[in-house]
Amino acid sequence: MSIYKRDLMIYVGISIFSIVLALVFPAYITQIAVMFLMVILAQTWDLQGGQMGYNSLGNIMFFGIGMYVSAIIQIAMLYGWGGVGEYTSASGSIKVEIIKSNYLYGMFIGAFAAGIICVLFAFVFGQIFLLFRGPYFAIGTLGMVLAVAELVSSWEWVGAGGGLSLPVYPAEDPTESGRLYFYCFLAISAICFAFISWVVSTRFGLALNAIRDDEAKAEAMGIRTLRYKVSSWMISAFFLGLAGAIFGNMSNFIEPLEVAFPTITFGVFMVVMALLGGKGTVWGPVVGAVIFHIIKETTWTYMLGYQWVALGLLIIVIVIFFNQGIMGSLAERYPHWFGIKIEEDAEEATS
Amino acid sequence: MIVLKDVSKAFGGVQANKKVSLEVEEGKITGLIGPNGSGKTTVFNSIVGYHPIDEGSIQFRGQEISEMPVQSIARLGLLRTFQQTRIYSKMNCVENMLISTDNRNVSLWDMFGSRTSEIQDKAEHLLEFVGLYRKRTLKAGDLSFGQQKLLEFAMALMNDPDILLLDEPTAGINPTLINGLIDRLHRANTEFGITLFVIEHNMRVIMNMADQIYCLSNGQMLASGKPEDIQNDKRVIDAYLGGH
């Protein structure tokens, strides 16, 4: 089918373009890396908020848990589990000499473990929170992330509110670490995109859509709705955990409220990006994340002090003029671009 | 196949069902009639597990189902349609059909099953059966109410149920299409071997179709019997035409 060939070319084109972009503008490499992080945040949110109709305000929890899990594992790999408390209580005064291969190995193990632990958290929390519907789910998950952030803030062993600093990547030149995280986020967002595109094309995607449209009907048809809902959350949690782990290493310093559980920044951005791009579509969150990130970086640079006003205006514009999002509006106007066939006689027959 | 014994259900102070007993025979078409508010839909809701019953017992093939959750009952092969049609409005007709397949023996991996041509063919065949094939790529929410009823019926057939509870299948359907629908219900019963239990207000439809009819009034079983007996039952005529 030509539409698949076209899609494949789009994927390859975007990947090459972003790598070239990063090589041509090394000064912006961190911003571009964060842009790919935004793509991951929007995509994973959309799997619940868009495809399934469960507007989560707590997905950022997995990001933070992933970050802490990965950080603690990396420290434990250097000092042993007994040494973690000593390291964290020294609040950054212990400076680590680490070689590149050890650093990368630790980061890899930490990130992978973070993904797995987040999947377990999603499995357990999902059994409780995914029984709530509509606004109860939204508020419930918001409470969940705030509670977890508070608990971490008072947990001495992981550095409590003071946070903890991570070993620094032993880069030879200053752009090297930027490139490392850029490739990490590019790879995770590509895998995340491919996986989510595949998963929504299967029966799984249909089931999530059915839950979104009429959950009681889905139950009456015998669909194991909770199993689908929890699985969807586990998929998002895995990629959020990975992303959080890498972002922790990129930041070097982890602190509960602003870095690990940034509910009012990343936690809100992921919703805005998915809405802007078009929720419930595969490409919507990607497009939304890229456009949002560019707008955000521009306003943060040129309108500092008013950046939150600009963000608020953006949300209002989306809600009023783009309530289907960019991809949603395009799909409505140009359905053939998206491979949606509407037979001519079908239109006549309904009228 | 389904046996209700002295089932009672009250909502607040309203006694919706009071000691209702009935039996749906396998392979037959059973009708349930009664004036508005007589508790017909409550009977359906009780059977499929929508709400707990206050007392009595509901058995499906000898198994007590009155305490089972909705999804588990559906997976026994006991399905219902709704009076206010329920379809997945933002998905197209084919997608509505594809997700309505049987969930009885699905494993974890089946969650990620891709669309097989076998299931696709079955979906299209059933859409043709109810006369919606030409509208298969339209969003279900854009169909008319009557068409949505037909789609919901097709979705139920997609699930290969053993018994189907239909809540007013002809309400809102164009009178000229009703004959076609009666024919399809008959064929679902004879060709697909699905036992039907039907709530219906249209007397012409139910009298032509049903093998056995139960009549409810004020939440209580008023009469039961063959259609001709029910038609001539003075209590039934009173309940429908006057009195309450």
The single-letter DSSP state of residue B39 is S
Which amino acid is it at A102?
N
Strands A164-165 and A253-254: antiparallel
Using alpha carbons, select from B191, B192, B210, B186 the residue that is nearest to residue B200. Answer: B210
Look at A209 and B178; give whichever has higher pLDDT. Answer: A209
Chain A partners within 8 Å of B146 (Cβ): none
Average pLDDT over residues B66-93: 93
Q: Between chains, do A220 and B74 touch, taking CB under 8 Å as contact?
A: yes
pLDDT tens digits for B134-143? 999 999 999 9
* Cα(A106)–Cα(B11) distance, integer angstroms: 61
CB-nearest to B99 from A207, A340, A343 is A207
pLDDT tens digits for A61-85? 999 999 999 999 999 998 888 888 8
Q: Is the pLDDT of residue A346 over 60?
A: no
Average pLDDT over residues A257-272: 92
Q: Which CATH number fits domain A2-338: 1.10.3860, 1.10.3470, 1.10.1200, 1.10.287?
A: 1.10.3470
Q: Between chains, do A217 and B88 touch, taking CB under 8 Å as contact?
A: yes
The answer on B196 and B234 residing in a single domain is yes
Q: Between chains, do B99 and A341 touch, taking CB under 8 Å as contact?
A: no
Average pLDDT over residues B88-113: 90
Q: Is A207 in CB contact (< 8 Å) with chain B?
A: yes
Q: Between chains, do B113 and A346 touch, taking CB under 8 Å as contact?
A: no
CB-nearest to A222 from B74, B86, B87 is B74
Question: Which pLDDT value is given to residue B83?
Answer: 86
Q: Any residues with CB less than 8 A from the CB of B205 and at least 6 apart, and which?
A: B170, B178, B182
Q: Between chains, do B111 and A228 touch, taking CB under 8 Å as contact?
A: yes
Are the CB atoms for B93 and A221 separated by under 8 Å? no
The answer on B65 and B1 residing in a single domain is yes
The answer on B227 and B173 residing in a single domain is yes
Q: Is the pLDDT of residue B244 over 80?
A: no
Where are the strands (E) in chain B, listed by range? Answer: 2-11, 14-24, 29-33, 55-60, 63-64, 78-80, 163-167, 195-199, 212-217, 220-225
The answer on B134 and B189 residing in a single domain is no
Question: Which pLDDT value is given to residue B242?
Answer: 61
Task: Read off the tokens for A305.
Answer: 């002090």
Question: Which pLDDT value is given to residue A341?
Answer: 65
The answer on B73 and B134 residing in a single domain is no
CB-nearest to B134 from A213, A214, A345 is A345
Q: Between chains, do B134 and A343 touch, taking CB under 8 Å as contact?
A: yes
pLDDT tens digits for A281-339? 999 999 999 999 999 888 888 888 888 888 888 888 888 887 888 888 888 888 777 76
Q: Is the pLDDT of residue B88 over 90?
A: yes
Q: Is the pLDDT of residue A347 over 60?
A: no
* Cα(B6)–Cα(B17) distance, integer angstroms: 9
Please state the domain count of chain B. Answer: 2
Q: Which residue of A has its CA nearest to B157?
A: A221
Q: Which residue of B has its CA nearest to A219?
A: B71
Chain A partners within 8 Å of B91 (Cβ): 206, 209-210, 213
pLDDT tens digits for B176-188? 888 888 889 999 9
The answer on B172 and B65 residing in a single domain is yes
Long-range Cβ contacts of A99-103 (<8 Å, 24+ apart): A99/A170, A100/A169, A100/A170, A103/A167, A103/A169, A103/A170
Question: Which pLDDT value is given to residue A48?
Answer: 96
* Cα(A192)–Cα(A42) distance, integer angstroms: 11
What is the layout of strands, in order, in the sheet containing B220-225?
A: B78-80, B163-167, B195-199, B29-33, B212-217, B220-225
pLDDT mean across residues, chain A = 89
Q: For residue B73, give its domain range.
A: 1-77+162-244
- B76, B88, B107: which to substitute to probe chain A, counting the most A Cβ within 10 Å? B88
Of the three residues B160, B176, B193, the one that is the final residue of a domain is B160
Q: Any residues with CB less than 8 A from the CB of A252 and at least 6 apart, and which?
A: A165, A166, A168
Are the CB atoms for A63 and A240 separated by under 8 Å? yes
Our separate counts of H helices and E strands in chain B read: 9, 10
- Whether residue B82 is contained in a domain is answered as no
Long-range Cβ contacts of B72-75 (<8 Å, 24+ apart): B73/B47, B73/B48, B73/B49, B74/A219, B74/A220, B74/A221, B74/A222, B74/B48, B74/B103, B74/B159, B75/A222, B75/B103, B75/B104
Q: Is A342 in CB contact (< 8 Å) with chain B?
A: yes
Q: Is A349 in CB contact (< 8 Å) with chain B?
A: yes
Which residues 163-202 of chain A have a CB within 8 Å of chain B? 199, 201-202
Q: Provide the pLDDT confidence category of residue A198 given band limits of 50, 70 and 90.
A: very high
Using alpha carbons, select from B81, B80, B33 the residue that is nearest to residue B201. Answer: B33
The answer on B236 and B199 residing in a single domain is yes
- Which residue ranges make up each domain of chain A? 2-338
Instruction: State the pTM of this model.
Output: 0.91
* Cα(A252)–Cα(A258) distance, integer angstroms: 13
Chain A partners within 8 Å of B104 (Cβ): 222
* Cα(A188)–Cα(A157) distance, integer angstroms: 29
Q: Is the pLDDT of residue A122 over 90?
A: yes
The answer on B168 and B71 residing in a single domain is yes
The answer on B91 and B50 residing in a single domain is no
Q: Between chains, do A225 and B71 touch, taking CB under 8 Å as contact?
A: yes
Chain A partners within 8 Å of B143 (Cβ): 350
CB-nearest to B137 from A218, A227, A346 is A346
Q: Between chains, do A222 and B79 touch, taking CB under 8 Å as contact?
A: yes
Q: Any residues with CB less than 8 A from the CB of B214 and at least 6 apart, and which?
A: B22, B30, B31, B32, B33, B221, B223, B224
Q: Any residues with CB less than 8 A from the CB of A327 and at least 6 apart, and which?
A: A277, A278, A281, A283, A284, A287
Are the CB atoms for B167 and B80 separated by under 8 Å? yes
Q: Is the pLDDT of residue A192 over 60?
A: yes
Q: Provide the pLDDT confidence category of residue A53 given band limits of 50, 70 and 90.
A: very high
Average pLDDT over residues B84-92: 93
Task: Read off the tokens for A326.
Answer: 């960019």
Q: Between chains, do A214 and B95 touch, taking CB under 8 Å as contact?
A: no
Question: Which pLDDT value is given to residue A349?
Answer: 42
The answer on B172 and B63 residing in a single domain is yes
Q: Provide the pLDDT confidence category of residue B107 given band limits of 50, 70 and 90.
A: confident
The answer on B171 and B154 residing in a single domain is no
CA distance B214 to chain A (A): 24
Of the three residues B126, B160, B194, the one that is the final residue of a domain is B160
* Percent of the residues in chain A that have a pLDDT greater than 70, as a whole number: 95
The answer on B96 and B66 residing in a single domain is no
Q: Is A346 in CB contact (< 8 Å) with chain B?
A: yes
